[in-house]
């Protein structure tokens, strides 16, 4: 009986829920098996470690994985326990490792792919460090791509050697120590790790630098050294690293790689790395090169496959990498096998070709209802926007920071102008650069620019990928903007950066005050909005104003309309009012000042059915049913 059969016979179902399947691979800790949740059918990976192991690490890794889960690029833990003679951990099934994919791509990554890899690796390691741990075994085998729809997300795995570097409560850093044995993989370990210095955050980052140069060059200068013992070999590797300058290591490649390594080698033991700066090194190069960050890596493309030069490594928690018969050395894979393990490349796929791992929908930005209403002059032959008919009314679209003076009649024009009493918008230039980068790398997303805010929309994106990029964007903005006078918020499929000084209530007051100083006060004021952020308009509106909440939810407004159709009907009533003939003449100083409307400037996606809704007048604005409080 084989070991695989023995394991399956002994364990049967792990946790009485997970049915073991074929063996996927092996590692220093034990073996990895394919498994299925018998209740849901979900495919998973099971790690098994003998309870008699000299240095058991699996249950420690499971505990740490539980501590980390919930972030992009961290596998979910489904179960862990001791069963029979094994420590057991059930986790997400992932795809192949970066080492495997490097072989798939004939041991050469394009600069575009390498920069996208660098960006995700830095996010993963920053997250791990933010949870008070360092990894201590950074290498291509420990970064896997996701499975299925998540195949463009890189996962960090294998936390058996991870170590806490600071106290979570006090944030006290572990003390500097020497004479430590080297932990990790010698090829990528930092020079200080070779020297026996206690590792800290800088060492993980230095190892990532060696990984990136490994992908650039295809190999590192200290590979292939021959020695009598492991200790002698480690010493030779250390000496080679010390004697190879960063400039020589990175010669012939973009200078950002040397800048990255020089920065990390200069860090002190307890220094907090500037992760945003390091990511910016690579993102700036990405933008200068004009790459399209569409989530498509080299392995997602369909080039003809050639045999890899080296055998790929075992897959920690990934898809099966099975031997190709007696002609293939154990542990190595044929191009066809590596291609078939990628998501979407099932048995029967075109031989020798890779199909896209996750082709994202590229969607044009949605039509923004309301543009016709705010145009300066309607195109000839087109139905003018409803605002064009609101004569004797001054209008301010608060969210768009636009205003329109009184219109006397259909032939007098209806010009909109920016209304912006606030000037602290220098931050918008920096925000725009960041959002443009994320728009290029997120198909279906688009940017909406306002006079006091910039909004990134991802409603038309692939849902999971959009949420993933939104989290990255929130983090990037938070670290890049610092103390700039703006606020970052995430709504329903949007990320918005707005001026701190611009509150809708303040804008309403400013508009009314401006009118009062230039002419007579408004005869009536209508304040209308549909969002929680509009409550400040209702609260700051002058006494006696009509305050109208559009849609459901608690509000401090006095009246409510159900949705866009009712709003349009209500505005038509105002537009259709029979005004005296004198209203078509210029207003004299003694004339009554026209009504003023303050409305949330967001554009509603109104269907044709809504647009053609019944134009019967509303008897009155219904009062709100909810308490007048937030």
Statement to judge: residues 84 and 148 lie in one domain: no
* Residue 57 resides in a domain: yes
* Residue 375 resides in a domain: no
* Residue 129 resides in a domain: yes
Token readout for 158 is 């294998």
Statement to judge: residues 50 and 87 lie in one domain: yes
* Residue 309 resides in a domain: no
Segments of the chain with pLDDT less than 70: 1-12, 27-28, 301-394, 396-426, 451, 501-507, 514-522, 532-533, 574-630
Token readout for 381 is 């032959």
* Residue 379 resides in a domain: no
Statement to judge: residues 129 and 255 lie in one domain: yes
pLDDT score recorded for residue 363? 29
CATH number at residue 555: 3.40.50.1000
**Paired sense of beta strands 546-550 and 559-561, if any:** parallel
d(CA 194, CA 180): 9
| Of 443, 473, 499, the domain-final residue | 499
Nearest to 357 by CA among 164, 178, 150: 150
Statement to judge: residues 459 and 563 lie in one domain: no
Statement to judge: residues 467 and 538 lie in one domain: no
* Residue 395 resides in a domain: no
* In the block, residue with structure tokens 């990175």: 250
CATH number at residue 438: 3.30.70.1020
What is the set of active-site residues?
137
Statement to judge: residues 132 and 42 lie in one domain: no
pLDDT score recorded for residue 344? 42
Statement to judge: residues 286 and 139 lie in one domain: yes
Taking the whole predicted model, whether its pTM rises above 0.95 is answered as no
Statement to judge: residues 155 and 244 lie in one domain: yes
Statement to judge: residues 61 and 38 lie in one domain: yes
Domain that holds residue 119: 95-297
pLDDT score recorded for residue 168? 94
Statement to judge: residues 268 and 158 lie in one domain: yes
Statement to judge: residues 474 and 526 lie in one domain: no
CATH number at residue 230: 1.10.510.10
What is residue 188's DSSP assignment?
T
Statement to judge: residues 103 and 157 lie in one domain: yes
* Residue 219 resides in a domain: yes
| Of 576, 592, 623, the domain-final residue | 576
The count of domains in the chain is 4
d(CA 586, CA 578): 17
Per-position b or e across 251-275, b if 16+ CB within 10 A of its CB: eeebebbbbbbebbeebebeeebeb
d(CA 123, CA 395): 45
| Of 266, 297, 328, the domain-final residue | 297
């Amino acid at each position: 009986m084989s070991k695989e059969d023995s394991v399956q016979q002994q364990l049967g179902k792990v946790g009485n829920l997970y049915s073991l399947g074929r063996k996927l691979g092996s590692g220093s800790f034990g073996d990895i098996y394919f498994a299925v949740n018998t209740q849901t059918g979900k495919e998973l990976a099971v790690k098994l470690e003998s309870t008699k192991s000299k240095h058991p690490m699996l249950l420690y890794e499971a505990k740490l994985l539980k501590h980390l889960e919930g972030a992009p690029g961290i596998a979910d833990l489904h179960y862990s326990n001791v069963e029979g003679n094994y420590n057991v951990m059930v986790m997400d099934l992932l795809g192949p490792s970066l080492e495997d994919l490097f072989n798939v791509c004939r041991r050469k990554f394009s600069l575009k792919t390498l920069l996208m890899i660098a960006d995700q690796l830095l996010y993963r390691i920053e997250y791990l460090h933010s949870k008070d741990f360092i990894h201590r075994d950074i290498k291509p085998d420990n970064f896997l791509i996701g499975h299925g729809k998540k195949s463009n997300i890189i996962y960090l795995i294998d936390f058996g050697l991870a170590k806490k570097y600071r106290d979570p409560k006090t944030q006290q850093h572990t003390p500097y120590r020497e004479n430590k044995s080297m932990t990790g993989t010698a090829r990528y370990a930092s020079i200080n790790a070779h020297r026996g210095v206690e590792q800290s955050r800088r060492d993980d980052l230095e190892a990532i630098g060696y990984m990136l140069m490994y992908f650039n060059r295809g190999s590192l200068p200290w590979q292939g050294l021959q020695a009598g013992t492991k200790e002698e070999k480690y010493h030779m590797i250390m000496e080679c690293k010390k004697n190879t300058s960063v400039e020589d290591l990175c010669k012939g490649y973009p200078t950002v790689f040397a800048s990255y390594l020089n920065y990390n080698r200069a860090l002190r033991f307890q220094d907090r790395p500037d992760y945003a700066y390091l990511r910016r090194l690579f993102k700036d190069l990405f933008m200068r090169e004009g790459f399209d960050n569409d989530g498509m890596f080299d392995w997602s493309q369909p080039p003809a496959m050639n045999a890899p030069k080296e055998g790929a490594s075992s897959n920690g928690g990934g898809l099966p990498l099975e031997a190709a018969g007696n002609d293939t050395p154990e542990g190595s894979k044929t191009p066809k096998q590596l291609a078939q393990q990628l998501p979407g490349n099932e048995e029967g796929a075109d031989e020798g070709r890779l199909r896209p791992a996750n082709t994202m929908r590229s969607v044009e930005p949605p039509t923004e209802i309301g543009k016709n209403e705010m145009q300066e002059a309607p195109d000839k032959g087109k139905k003018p926007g409803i605002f064009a008919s609101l004569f004797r009314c001054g209008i301010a679209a608060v969210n768009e920071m636009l205003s329109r003076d009184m219109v006397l009649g259909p032939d007098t024009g209806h010009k909109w102008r920016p209304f912006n009493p606030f000037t602290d918008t220098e931050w918008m230039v920096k925000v725009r650069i960041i959002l443009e980068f994320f728009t290029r790398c997120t198909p279906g997303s688009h940017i909406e620019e306002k006079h006091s805010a910039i909004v990134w929309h991802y409603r038309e994106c692939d849902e999971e990928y959009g949420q993933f990029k939104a989290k990255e964007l929130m983090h990037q903005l938070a670290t890049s903007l610092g103390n700039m006078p703006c606020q970052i918020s995430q709504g329903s499929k949007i990320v918005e950066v707005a001026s701190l000084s611009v509150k809708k209530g303040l804008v309403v007051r400013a508009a009314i005050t401006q009118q009062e100083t230039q002419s007579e006060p408004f005869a009536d004021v209508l304040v209308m909005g549909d969002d929680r952020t509009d409550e400040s308009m209702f609260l700051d509106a002058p006494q006696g104003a009509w305050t109208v909440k559009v849609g459901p939810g608690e509000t401090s407004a006095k009246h409510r309309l159900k949705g866009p159709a009712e709003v349009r009907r209500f505005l038509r009533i105002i537009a259709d009012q029979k005004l005296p003939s004198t209203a078509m003449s210029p207003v004299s100083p003694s004339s009554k000042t026209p009504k003023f409307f303050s409305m949330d400037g967001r554009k509603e996606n109104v269907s044709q059915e809504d647009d053609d809704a019944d134009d019967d007048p509303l008897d009155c604005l219904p009062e709100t049913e909810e308490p007048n409080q937030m």
